[in-house]
Structure 1
Amino acid sequence: MIEILSPTLLARAKTTGALVGDILQTLKSLCTIGTNLLDIDRWAEEMIVEARASSCYVDYEPSFGRGPFGHYICTAVNDAVLHGRPYDYTLTDGDLLTLDLAVSKGGIAADAAISFIVGDAQPPESVAMISATERALAAGIAAAGPGARIGDISHAIGTVLSKAGYPINTEFGGHGIGSTMHQDPHVANIGRPGRGYKLRPGLLLALEPWVMADTAELVTDADGWTLRSATGCRTAHTEHTIAITDDGAEILTLPKQAQP
């Protein structure tokens, strides 16, 4: 299903997107050496409930997972990259943490992810990997607009990641979003320009470049959810929800203080 949102629903999408951006930035400020992943999940729950919104994850039960996800946010540490299920783990100096959050409010969902390093240690390889996903996301957003095609976005993202030297996995990527979290079209993180669905104003897309340092192969944890690099290398993941407008694309999941 591909949804094209009306102006009224787009206004709701902006509200949801800002909420997601604000929660992620608040959580990032709270994540220090000694923070437990289960505390992050609890804080996310509190902020979502206070905003009278709902998590897209608690009852999420796709074919690739094992039962309902059962938590309010994805927390992926170091070699974990996608669908990181919170568990009893305490963050240490230099951990690379990805927070991935999808929330629904007013009947419209928004989805975003940030990767950052906890504490004072700043391993250069991890910094470079996070930067590559951020640059790739910016390139993908710049390629989006009415009349562009999904392949244009995929090509822009993949060009940045490939030039940075990272293998690219095509099993999981970006996606349409609207009244539900995951919709068509699929947005791979590499592709050919000029191919695929033609973008229209009112379309929402969650773009999410993610990479693993030295492999494109994933393995699944015993929890049935958390996806890790097959080699144990570090990973990074950056995501925004955007709306296609009459003259380009608007990022919806910026925190309020970062909005123009």
Structure 2
Amino acid sequence: MIELKSQRDKEKMRLAGQVVAEVLQILKTAAVAGVTTRDLDAIADEEIRKRGALPIFKGYHGYPASVCISVNHEVVHGIPGSRRLKPHDLVSLDLGAILDSFVGDAALSTFVGEAPDETAALLLKVTEEALYEGIKAAQPGAHLGDISHAVQSHVEKHGFSVVRDYVGHGIGHQMHEDPQVPNYGPAGRGILLKPGLALAIEPMVNVGSYDVDVLDDGWTVVTRDGSLSAHFEHTIFINPDGPEILTRIDGKIPV
């Protein structure tokens, strides 16, 4: 069942989203050579709680940390631990917080220092652009598949691949609500998008094949071919005049 949210709900979701936006920027700055992923998790937990929110990931289906940290060929759901970041690592940070019974969820990818090569730099650029292409397609009266098609088209135009096994989702009182939001598929299909719909759109993009595997820890998703992967995500709300980003500090869609 798809639940439409009110404007009051949106404002509460925005507050949760701003917590996520602020803490992600802190984590991005802290992701330097020599820091452990466990160090970053401790920062995430402290900064979320400092803002009066709770880390929604911690304990979610048994997940043991406050932030998912995926490095290089890890796609999503990496568990923080003793790993020390090295120069040129590609680090994906996925963070969720709950505040006043509403959830914010967002992700970004960054390099430790400089990108290792031009392909890696392009991967990051294209994945973030694909997220915003998907958001721009989330117009009232459009179809869910228009989001999916916008993401996939942009990614594949640059020779990269979109992960099929993991998708975006509805969001609100729960982190994962209906509908699912694939990052691939034909335009013009799926449900009609209506004002009040809140979605987490999150392209996961690989340099090589879109095939993935899950490690023995039961969480960490990796590219099957060992190629680099990037991940960007925002929580959005569809207004009568178009989408609004709730997990970006200025709330605007980049031109």
Q: Which TM-score bucket, shorter chain as reference? A: over 0.9
Displacement of 1:259 in angstroms is 9.1
Aligned residue for 2:45? 45
Which of 98, 107, 110 is matched with 1:104 structurally? Answer: 98
The CA distance in 2 between the partners of 1:119 and 1:257, in whole Å, is 27
Correspondence for 1:167:
161
TM-fit CA distance, 1:169: 2.5
Instruction: Read off the aligned partner of 2:139 and give its amino acid letter.
Output: G
**Secondary structure of the corresponding residue to residue 135 of structure 1:** helix
The within-5 A match list for 1:143-162 is: 143-162=137-156
**RMSD across aligned positions (CA):** 1.6
- 2:16–2:98 Cα contact (<8 Å) kept: yes
In the alignment, the residues of structure 2 paired with residue 254 and residue 147 of structure 1 have an alpha-carbon distance, to the nearest angstrom, of 24
Counterpart in 2 of 1:77? 71
**Contact persistence 1:114–1:238 (CA under 8 A):** yes
Q: What percent identity do the matched residue pairs reach?
A: 39
* Structure 2 CA distance for aligned equivalents of residues 259 and 18 of structure 1: 15
For 1:216 and 1:96, how far apart are their aligned partners in 2? 17
Which residue matches 2:126?
132
Choose which of 170, 173, 176 in structure 1 pairs with 2:170. 176
Q: Where does residue 217 of structure 2 map in the other structure?
A: 223
Q: Is the 8 A contact 2:68 2:94 kept in 1?
A: yes
Deviation, structure 1 residue 84 = 1.0
Q: Structure 1 stretch 12-21 or stretch 117-126: which is displaced more?
A: 117-126
* Secondary structure of residue in 1 paired with 2:217: coil
Distance in 2, matches of 1:183 and 1:169, equals 20
2:18 corresponds to:
18
Following TM superposition, the consecutive aligned residue runs of length 4 or more in structure 1 with deviations greater than 6 angstroms are: 257-260
Which residue of structure 1 aligns with residue 200 of structure 2? 206
Task: Tell me how far apart the structure 2 counterparts of residues 246 and 122 of structure 1 sit (CA, whole Å).
Answer: 43
The equivalent residue for 1:241 is 235
Partner in structure 1 of residue 9 of structure 2: 9
Asked if the contact 1:20/1:255 (under 8 Å) is kept, the reply is no
Alignment-mate amino acid for residue 45 of structure 2: E
Structure 2 spans left out of the alignment, 5+ residues: none
Q: State the partner residue of 1:65.
A: none
Q: 1:87-126 residue pairs with structure 2 within 5 A?
A: 87-126=81-120
- Corresponding letter in the other structure for 2:72: N
Deviations 1:155-186 (A, max 9, x none): 11110011111222222111100000011111
1:29 is matched with 29
TM-score normalised to structure 2 length: 0.96
Contact 2:245 2:252 in 1 (8 A): no
**Matched pairs, number:** 254
Specify the code of the residue in structure 2 equivalent to 1:140. G
The answer (yes or no) to whether the contact 2:76–2:220 under 8 Å persists in 1 is: yes
Unaligned runs of 5+ in 1: 62-67
SS of the residue 2:26 aligns to: helix
Distance 1:121 1:225 in 2: 26
TM-score (norm 1): 0.94
Describe the shift of the 1:146–1:259 C-alpha distance in structure 2 as closer, same or farther (beyond 3 A). Answer: closer
- AA matched with 1:49: R
Deviation at 1:255, TM superposition (A): 2.8
Q: Give the Cα–Cα distance (whole angstroms) in 2 for the partners of residues 56 and 194 of structure 1.
A: 33
Q: Within 2, Cα distance between the matches of 1:182 and 1:257?
A: 22
The DSSP-based 3-state class of the residue aligned with 1:253 is: coil
